[in-house]
Chains A and B, each alone.
Chain A
């Protein structure tokens, strides 16, 4: 090394690169780079069969028709579509949203509805107005990773409630409420995805629904009913929403991400009046107002396009892909694996043979050109190591079959490793492993 080089900076000075590192809020402490996120960067490549992402198959939309519709919208009503609007959202769209919700038995007035940036923002706003640090939120075990992210951002303590193949178990809910109440804990709400749940794929049985409402009513507990997949059931009519039977005790979250397109980022909350008022104020402080353009695109789509027929097309596509996944799993998964059979939605929840850790296995899977989401991402308490989520919504059936073939081989190799070394506890530092938006 030259002398000049060495002495160019002769006084050793420590640098942490980020001069504001000590000034971040406590809740930003966990926002760090992680190996899992790095692996998900690879899964976007076409060489990888990604059974991880929950991206809807928007290619099935009549994109030319939508394109013409959007062009016409701008030409004819651009001065509205490109202008600010109210924080509650476009009135015409809210009327249409009420029509959509009526398919699930909900009778709502447009005044009950707040338009949001996907239902994810509704989750954020709900948590913002209800949760103080340390408050308890009840959620299914496992639960939607995006919801857990919102709850963590507001420093809620998530207590998971057991599910089985028929969804949330009423007795487990009752016991959790009793236990937490006895311990003096403040439970702010129950968060549930009752239909074709993300990640478990299960649906809350009809006979359990009145009991769940009854338990929450008795405890004075608000229910947040997140229903992104409600219209994507493969059999029969849409399932009656919880809010249909208790509009005062249930906030319903909906989205057009699955029935139309996630790129428009339009969702909504239907809430009791007092909660709605706070949501509107919270939305106003968060974003002033939502995208007029996106709202009018959705409104126009619902008003002028055969959207119910499009949803039927989506259902048929997803049914075929679910069948391809289930058939491939039955044919190829090693002994000891078990999985759910979803009647709609996007996901299968797979349990690995004893001792196999899905998070530890992910690098090997990605090396073998297949990806999934490790189960731990769906728990706030580190549980879920022996599970993984498989998504069938995006890859076509032949890619799904190839992905399962690769995954089966990876699991078999992992079983061999486990046999060699014995079951291993998770290794490495704890850290966030939330997948990116496309993986939700």
Chain B
């Protein structure tokens, strides 16, 4: 396999997920250094392109979350610079990062996803918020889940149990983006299934069941150790685990993703599996589910990152 001279871990960016990205990047960098690789962290700023041109790394591990980390923009830049990178190409990221688009593509291959509507901020202004909200509830019922159409880390996302909560949830959502995805909230077991291709094709890793102590897997629950219990594999029947693995692998494939992804799913009380969203630059922090799943599958984190980089380098740009 291709030997690595030095590699760059891209982390930071200017989205509200910057802090998470820096934590992800440091963890990836540390794991690679432990594996004997010369790994350096670089931010996505004005110094990036000159630095990549002056001293091209063998490959890049993008760990930028949120906008332009996951919407394909940074991958377009890496392609323009001509440096190999781990992960999906820009066009696939476009479709995956936009949650309504991803839901539609995944539904087209037969995976269930909660019924939803996607509405820009202007529509509430132009048509009247009350009338629009009334129609949403009439159509989708309650409970609901509101989140920005593009974004991650649960920022701007909130459950809605009563009609009175919906306007506030939509306003909170608009703090993080101008388009809201409002979907039926499915009660059930929340799981994250990562898909990794370490050279033998995309493989689903063990499902990680997420049980937040406060009931909601929000930003605090995600990034405060102890606030959420994780079960690996998820406490589900074997057939449900199989179905979840297949759903994640199918979503990965349907969206044209490469190397690595994490799919968030809900397994309803009746056992049906619903696709919620997919992440093309999954969190790599101490509380993130992908590293846990790698470990449960017997893959050392650093070795897996190293393998992904070697495969990217061999693939070229």
Contact = CB atoms under 8 A, between A and B. Distances in A.
A280 B232 CA distance: 52
A427 B171 contact: yes
A12 interface: yes
Given A33-B219, A41-B18, A361-B175, A18 B226 contact: yes
Interface string B161-175: 000000111111011
B287 A363 contact: no
Contact of A420 (B15, B129, B153, B233): B129
A417 B121 CA distance: 8
B101 to A, nearest CB: 21
Contact of A16 (B205, B209, B226): B226
13 contacts: A1-B242, A5-B206, A5-B296, A10-B233, A15-B229, A15-B230, A18-B225, A32-B224, A38-B17, A38-B153, A47-B45, A363-B16, A424-B168
A42 B235 CA distance: 38
Question: Main SS of chain B's interface residues?
Answer: mixed
Interface of B: 14-20, 22, 45, 121, 124-125, 129, 153, 155-156, 158, 167-172, 174-176, 203-206, 209, 211, 214, 216, 218-220, 222-235, 241-242, 245, 249, 286-287, 292, 296-298
Most buried by A among B153, B174, B234: B174
B228 to A, nearest CB: 7
The interface size bin for chain A is: 35 or more
A32 B220 contact: yes
Nearest to B245: A1
Contacts of B203: 1-2, 5
Interface of A: 1-2, 4-6, 8-10, 12-18, 21, 32-35, 37-39, 41-42, 45, 47-48, 360-364, 366-367, 369, 416-417, 419-422, 424-425, 427-429, 431
B14 A8 contact: no
Given A33-B222, A39-B16, A12 B175 contact: no
A2 B202 CA distance: 11
Contact of A1 (B176, B204, B209): B204
Contacts of B298: 4-5, 8
Contacts of B219: 33-35, 38
A4 B245 CA distance: 14
| A-B CB proximity, top 3 nearest | A21-B226, A18-B225, A41-B19
A363 B172 CA distance: 10
Given A1-B245, A427-B168, A429-B216, A363 B156 contact: yes
Most buried by B among A32, A45, A369: A32
Contacts of B22: 41
A35 B171 contact: no
Nearest to B128: A420
A419 B298 CA distance: 54
Nearest to B234: A12
A431 B214 CA distance: 12
